[in-house]
A and B are shown apart, each in its own frame.
Chain A
Amino acid sequence: MVLWLYGVNFLMSLLVLLPAYATLRREMGTSLEYLKLLNGFDFTVYSDFRHSHGAATDSLLTVGFWLGLLYLLISVFFSGGMLRQLASATDRRQTFQASWFLVASMQSFGRFFRLFLCVAGFILLLSVVFLLLGGLGGLALSETLNEEELSYFALACLLLFGLSVLFTLCVGDYAKILLFRRNETHALPAFREAMRFVLSHVRAAFGNYLLLNGVGAICFAIYFLLDSWIVTGGWAAIALLFLIQQLFIFSRIALKVWALATATTVFTIQKNHLTIFSSW
């Protein structure tokens, strides 16, 4: 399934790669200056290029932007398929079948789209609340705290906001499982119940989610390190960097699936515990 998801991501992103290569080739023309960009960043070459050919590359960025939104919808669509696949993952003989995956995706699109709106709305609300509280707090404290203390305050607000967003996303995963397991269509009640579940199992649910996000952050750091180490002087090095980039993207997709699989497992175990406990 991860390969399938990666394949979709890769194919979609070819819509950026191929026009980008053609556009850059055309816009760079016969100049030798761009060789300076091979072994690192060169501000003069970059800024002259952006000034002369900005319009051409801006259209590529626009394509990338809309592609992201399209992929968001596709990800909502794939949620049902992913959960179906994870639900049957205990059966080792069960291999991935695209038709099954797509049928399940189609069946659940509506409910997961509503859940997505619910999660996005909640994050928007959080943003407004944190912006207001942080801004007002900063303003109130600006007379008493010095710049360093204010910076710590801002960092604390940012950290808290980040954790709140991650918590919301984690709740979203559990809401998805609830919607799928119970074949429900009402997103908001599921989101509320999922929040109660995550709050009552913070360590298992949110802890694991944070751990997987931490792994993602480490992967990012490793990528940046490798990117700065590899001297892309020729085609071989460029190909190697491309391979590393794709490995990183693959790992991101695998982590996403892993997070959902972990949530499924935690949910199953905790619910079983509850069932056993209540049957006593």
Chain B
Amino acid sequence: MSSGTWTVVFFLLWFVRTAEAQFVPLSPRLANYQLDVQLDTDTKYLTGKETLVWTNPSNEVIHELQFHLYLNAFRNGQSTFMRESGGQLRGAFIKRNDEASYGWIDILSMQARQASGKTEVLTGKYQFIQPDDANADDRTVISVPLSQPLGPGQRITIDMAFRARLPRIFARTGYSDDFFLVAQWFPKIGVYEPPGTRYVASPGRWNCHQFHANSEFYADYGVYDVTVTVPQNFRVGATGLLKSERQNANGTKTMRWRAEDVVDFAWTASTAFTVFDDRWRHVAIRVLMQPEHASQAQRHIDAAKVALAYFDKHLGRYPFTTLTIVDPPMSGLGAGGMEYPTFITAGTSWGLPAGVRVPEQVVIHEFGHQYFMQLLATNEFEEAWLDEGFNQYYEGRIMDETYGPKSSLTDLFGYRVGNLEVSRNSYVHLDHPAIAPSFGNVWQLPDAYYGELTYFKPATWMRTLDGLVGRPVMDEIMRTYFNRWKFKHPNAKNFIAIVNEVVAKRLGSRLGPNLNWFFDQVLYGTQVCDYELHAVRSVRQGNAYRSAITVYRRGDAQLPVEVLVHFEDGSEKLLHWNGKASAHTFTLTQPSQAEWAKVDPQQKIYMDINLNNNSFAIRPPASPAAKYAAKLMFWAQNWMQWLAWLV
């Protein structure tokens, strides 16, 4: 063939490959849904039809399917969710005596179609199961037996009709007046974990947990094709892309949404929304604001852009073309601060000053879940820290780098607070920082420690890991983790393996043969870290000084630390200690005596529970005590004067 013909063939092949590549889905697409739902805004009822096409991902024969019926968590006070939560979430309470506060979902009909063409009526054949506890009143999971087992790799189509009533919002989903946040609203198949997935040995198993007070969700990837019918005066936002909209003669409108390679589908409807649109590169950002919060729309958009840019730079590309941010009304704040694929809820209040960065924090946090939840679909029932902890760490990084490390959360009247330092404070100042490890089923964590153990402690030790390995290595770890595990279900072992791989490649054995010792303490263990610079003493020896610097390890965590010694002549020495013994004394002979010393001078060991005892000065400054004693006196005088005005 001539060179011209070769060129044509080459371009044809390149075109075919490129075209093929464009059709390669991003995810395994195991659970694909077609949903058709109508919302009755007066009765708060959802009437829906669902067609699920599910693929058996294993090499095993499957005899049953398991589904989540999340809305049944709100059926009555006896569900596991209600028993565990006491009818409240994040400070929002259910009105127990009001029937309208409750919600439920019923499957009206169910039928299976298999590739062989056989159909099987499953209506009434399923039963409620409680894989996590013995609460027979919990109806959030069903087991559906299949008389015709599903072979390896085979597909099954399930047709369902369902009816649901939305609860009044206090925990993520439901309605408040004419605001609807419709989440966890349809029968959703659990995750079948074949052998080798996460911690599963042979045989495979269904991972389909009940709805718990603190846990969130776990699902397989798929394509969602969802048709929503609502009254025409409602504005709607949803996961994915709006494909079509038609006005119906009965005063309703029907909108069709499509989302590919996502793990869930949520939507919102309200007559009150004010809509703001913007773009960041390939992403169309839509913000649905309450009218009284409209002046804060730009704050939401700016925060979303900051988060998009940061994650794009440090982890990887956001592969979707839309991002919808919902601002719930004050009465529906229970739906705020929640993440769904390409769709997040924020939360603010009227008149919030710019120096209180609540909307920015919530938007950045919830957007982060597009990575640690949606793109890396971890099991939030069993390893919530992989999602919330990592995301909290990134929230801190983004907030602190964007708005200032010591003022990113609050900067008002001289009162400045940073994001990462608040995460650290929430963990290190617990009454019992050693209460429990972060690792484990979320619903079995000690009461009231969910946030501390899944958000703040992991965020603090992630920042510590960052300090130990250095930011470039940390970024490489996270990028490797993201690229290798995106659109999959990673677990702790997968992450630790990547840490060990990247650290060994970049730092050799500087931190030991691997970093298992680190995770054994911070993730699987309850060790508490506290290093103290106990004493600095110098004794003259001839023309020189012999200085002794003593460091104590007050906690049971053992981490390598640096010690910086400053001498009177201005010189400094950086020393290293493996941090294992309960105490260590460095002895140095220098021309001048030691003036002060600091253990962990760069605060790499961020999980140290007391950073104030990390330094020792021969002549400690008295001025801070004087300044704050004067302030105390001043405020005592003010207090006296305020009371005196009563007379």
Closest to A21 in B: B629
Contact of B615 with A32 in the complex, beta carbons under 8 Å: yes
Q: A17-B632, A43-B425, A112-B647 are in contact. Are A35 and B418 (CB under 8 A)?
A: no
Contact residues of B between 628 and 647, Cβ < 8 Å to A: 628-647
Chain B min CB distance to A248 (Å): 8
Indicate whether B330 reaches chain A with its CB closer than 8 angstroms. Answer: yes
Chain A min CB distance to B175 (Å): 15
Q: Which of A16, A32, A172 contacts B596 (CB 8 A)?
A: A32
Indicate whether B542 reaches chain A with its CB closer than 8 angstroms. Answer: no
Indicate whether A64 reaches chain B with its CB closer than 8 angstroms. Answer: yes
Q: Which of A25, A52, A146 contacts B625 (CB 8 A)?
A: A25
Indicate whether B244 reaches chain A with its CB closer than 8 angstroms. Answer: no
Closest to B614 in A: A33
Contact of A43 with B350 in the complex, beta carbons under 8 Å: no
A75 to B406, CA, bound (A): 42
Of the listed stretches B5-13, B126-134, B379-387, B616-624, chain A binds B616-624
Q: With a CB–CB cut-off of 8 A, which chain A residues contact B626?
A: 21, 235, 238
Other CB < 8 Å A-B pairs besides A48-B610, A51-B429, 8 of them? Answer: A9-B641, A30-B618, A31-B617, A37-B628, A48-B612, A71-B643, A120-B646, A238-B626
Contact residues of A between 4 and 44, Cβ < 8 Å to B: 9-10, 12-14, 16-18, 20-21, 24-25, 28-35, 37-38, 40-44
Closest to A248 in B: B634
Contact of B624 with A148 in the complex, beta carbons under 8 Å: no
A147 to B176, CA, bound (A): 13
Indicate whether A76 reaches chain B with its CB closer than 8 angstroms. Answer: yes
Indicate whether B355 reaches chain A with its CB closer than 8 angstroms. Answer: no
Q: With a CB–CB cut-off of 8 A, which chain A residues contact B613?
A: 29, 31, 52
Of the listed stretches B52-60, B80-88, B408-416, B466-474, chain A binds B408-416
Indicate whether A160 reaches chain B with its CB closer than 8 angstroms. Answer: no
Chain B min CB distance to A63 (Å): 8
Indicate whether B251 reaches chain A with its CB closer than 8 angstroms. Answer: no
**Could you list 26 examples of A-B contacts with CB < 8 Å?**
A10-B637, A13-B637, A16-B629, A16-B633, A17-B632, A24-B628, A28-B625, A31-B616, A32-B621, A37-B624, A37-B628, A41-B414, A44-B425, A44-B611, A48-B610, A49-B612, A51-B428, A72-B643, A72-B644, A120-B646, A123-B646, A147-B350, A148-B351, A149-B292, A241-B627, A256-B644
Q: A32-B617, A116-B647, A249-B634 are in contact. Are A45 and B628 (CB under 8 A)?
A: no
Chain A min CB distance to B414 (Å): 5
Q: Which of A69, A76, A146 contacts B291 (CB 8 A)?
A: A146
Contact of B643 with A32 in the complex, beta carbons under 8 Å: no
Contact of B292 with A42 in the complex, beta carbons under 8 Å: no
Interface residues on A, range: 35 or more
Contact residues of A between 229 and 280, Cβ < 8 Å to B: 232, 234-235, 238, 241-242, 245-246, 248-249, 252-253, 256
Interface residues on B, range: 35 or more
Contact of A13 with B424 in the complex, beta carbons under 8 Å: no
Indicate whether B264 reaches chain A with its CB closer than 8 angstroms. Answer: no
Q: Which of B421, B422, B625, B641 contacts A249 (CB 8 A)?
A: B641
Indicate whether B329 reaches chain A with its CB closer than 8 angstroms. Answer: yes
Q: A9-B637, A224-B413 are in contact. Are A38 and B643 (CB under 8 A)?
A: no
Contact of B625 with A24 in the complex, beta carbons under 8 Å: yes
Q: Which of B329, B627, B640, B646 contacts A37 (CB 8 A)?
A: B627
Contact of A232 with B635 in the complex, beta carbons under 8 Å: no
Q: With a CB–CB cut-off of 8 A, which chain B residues contact A34?
A: 612, 621, 624-625
Indicate whether B598 reaches chain A with its CB closer than 8 angstroms. Answer: yes
Contact of B647 with A41 in the complex, beta carbons under 8 Å: no
Q: With a CB–CB cut-off of 8 A, which chain B residues contact A184?
A: none
Contact of B406 with A43 in the complex, beta carbons under 8 Å: yes
Contact of A64 with B641 in the complex, beta carbons under 8 Å: no
